[in-house]
Every structure is written in structure tokens, then in C-alpha cells.
Amino acid sequence: MTDIRHSRRAAIGAGGIGVAGGLVAAAAAGASLLDPRTAYAQAGGDSLLRTVLDRGKLMVGTGSTNAPWHFEDEQGKLTGMDIAMARILAKGLFDDETKIEFVLQDPAARIPNIATGKVDITIQFMTVTPGRAQQVAFTRPYYIEGIALLTKPGSPMQEFAALEGGGANTKVSILQNVDAELSVHMVLPQAQVLQIDTQANVIQALEAGRVDAAAVDLSTVGWMTKRDPDKYADSGKHWYSMLYSAALRQGDPDWLEFVNTTWNVAMFGHYNAIFDQAIADFFGLKPPVREPGLPPF
């Protein structure tokens, strides 16, 4: 590392090739670090990192029925934000984002399939909790989920300020659960809460005009307003944050560190094409500003 830093500083101060030469040298060094054979040589003999490299493909546990996280597009191809994170990992492993075998699983199988070795990693909108962390190793988070209020564009109650100002006259639908009223009353303490049996019916209540807003996942709001901005709007209020991470087997620091490093580079560094396209396609978000200087995390 000392030699690399010295050569970069010398190149920057030498004039002529200067900064460009230093960046080219740094890029070459970065490329060598991503070489699968280099990773193989450094991985512990019992690490899943070495097993995955030997196998030549990544086994990913995920789902297929929950847009925008994992679902089939019009051509029947698996897509979504979870799928994009898997593609980023395959690209880092093999320089080929297609070298993945997806294992479709029920959410209840997310932890068992890791424990039994059926999959190398579960990427399936998994909320991080201390209880789950006793059974699996969680990666760095790749999304902060929350509750948000879906409204109608052009409605007098489109914005959160109007919903708040409506007091006891404001009506909000939410999926039926033990914390439903509490969740809504965190931000709209006087609102009428309509608990409904399915997420589809929660949204249908908004479409039918039975409620002023539907309390759903922030990711759902992003997805629906991106797909149909003439039909749905984001009130601008988001709360109750939850971390989404992938899950790995415990006791394998090499594999965990590789996944975290690959995703850090995709989210905050220079290998960001797949991540940036995914957050635009599935959430309608702009890529994060990556300013050189101090790290953002």
C-alpha cells in the first residue's frame, strides 16, 4: 500500500500525465483487486467465497411476487431491487452479472435455506432485527424501509399538511395488524383508521375515495408513483424506519466482507451503474451524490 500511495503522489506532482496518470494507476490497482483469482487466493479454505468462485455461479434465495423488490416482468424475467443487488454481487465475483441461480423461496424459508446451505445468500427484502441476527449474519443495509402515505394527485388531501390539518375528518387505510392504529396515529393522531385485509384492498380504498390516504411501505409508494404518476402521489411523509439487508451464514467473515465491500463500491463508489439504474427504475430516485472526500457512511 505504501508503494501505491507513493507512486500516485509522484504521478500527481510530476506534471504531464499528472492526475490522469495517477487515476489510471489507481484504476489498474482496483481492477487487480477485483480479479476472482486474487479473491480466491485470499479467502479462507472454509469460506463460502472460495466455494462460490469454484462453482462459477452464485446461489441466491429470493422471491418472485413482490414488486418492486422481486417480481417477473412482462417477458417473465425475474427483476426488482433485490435482483439488482444480486446482479451487483455476481458482477463483483465473476465480472458477469448473469452468473446467478435464483432459488425462489417463501419468506418463511429465508433463514432455513441459509442455515442448510441451500443458498449462498438470501436477498429478499429482509428486515434486520436482533432476533434474526442471532441466526444469520446480516450484510450492510441496502435500503431503509418505512411507512408512507399514498395519496391521489390533485386531491385537496394530496400533501401531508392537508391530511394533518383534516384532524378527525382524515381517513387512512392500512393493512390490518395489531399495530395498525398506533402506526398511523404516530403522525396523524386524530385520523380515522380503516384496517383492511389485504394490501391491494388498502390501495383500492384510496382509489374508490373511501379514504384520503393509504398507509403502505415507502418502497410501494415509490414504485406506484413511478409507474403511474397520474393516479398516485406521495404525500411527502415517511416514518418508522426499518433496515433491509441480505442474510448469510454466520461465522464466515471473508464472505460477509466481500459482499459488504462489493455493495459499498456499488452504492458509494465507482462501480455504480446497476445500482443507480435500479433505484431509478424501481423507486424513481436519483442516484446519490458521490462527492470525493470524506466517506458518506
Ordered per-residue pLDDT tens for the chain, 297 residues:
444 333 333 333 333 434 444 444 444 444 444 455 555 555 556 899 999 999 999 999 999 999 999 999 999 999 999 999 999 999 999 999 999 999 999 999 999 999 999 999 999 999 999 999 999 999 999 999 999 999 999 999 999 999 999 999 999 999 999 999 999 999 999 999 999 999 999 999 999 999 999 999 999 999 999 999 999 999 999 999 999 999 999 999 999 999 999 999 999 999 999 999 999 999 999 988 888 887 766
Phi and psi torsions of 214, nearest 5°: -115, 125
297 inside domain: no
- Domain check: are 150 and 277 in the same one? no
Q: Which of 98, 114, 105 is nearest to 64 (CA)?
A: 105
- Residue 77 CA to residue 248 CA, distance in Å, equals 25
Residue 67 Cα distances to 83, 98, 192, 240, 267, angstroms: 11, 21, 28, 21, 21
Q: CATH number of the domain that 171 lies in?
A: 3.40.190.10
Q: Show the domain range for 20.
A: 1-33
160 inside domain: yes
203 inside domain: yes
Structural domains of the chain, count: 3
Overall residue count recorded for the chain in this entry = 297
Q: Which amino acid is at 219?
A: S
- Domain check: are 52 and 132 in the same one? yes
- Domain check: are 151 and 16 in the same one? no
235 inside domain: yes
Q: Which of 293, 262, 271, 226 is nearest to 142 (CA)?
A: 262
Those residues whose C-beta lies under 8 Å from the C-beta of residue 191, and which sit 6 or more positions away, are 163, 166, 167, 168, 170, 171, 172, 184, 185
- Domain check: are 254 and 131 in the same one? yes
Q: How many CB atoms lie within 10 A of CB 16?
A: 7
172 inside domain: yes
State residue 41's pLDDT score.
54
Q: Which of 163, 182, 164 is nearest to 174 (CA)?
A: 182
- Domain check: are 126 and 255 in the same one? yes
- Domain check: are 264 and 233 in the same one? no
CA quadruple 210, 213, 214, 219: dihedral, nearest 10: 150
- Domain check: are 256 and 111 in the same one? yes
114 inside domain: yes
Assess contact for 214 and 174: CB atoms under 8 A: yes
State residue 10's pLDDT score.
36
Give strand pairing partners of 137: 248
- Residue 46 CA to residue 253 CA, distance in Å, equals 11
40 inside domain: no
Q: Is the peptide bond before 68 cis (omega within 30 degrees of 0)?
A: yes
> What stretch of H or E contains 188?
none
98 inside domain: yes
Residue 71 Cα distances to 6, 141, 144, 288, angstroms: 49, 21, 20, 25
State residue 43's pLDDT score.
56
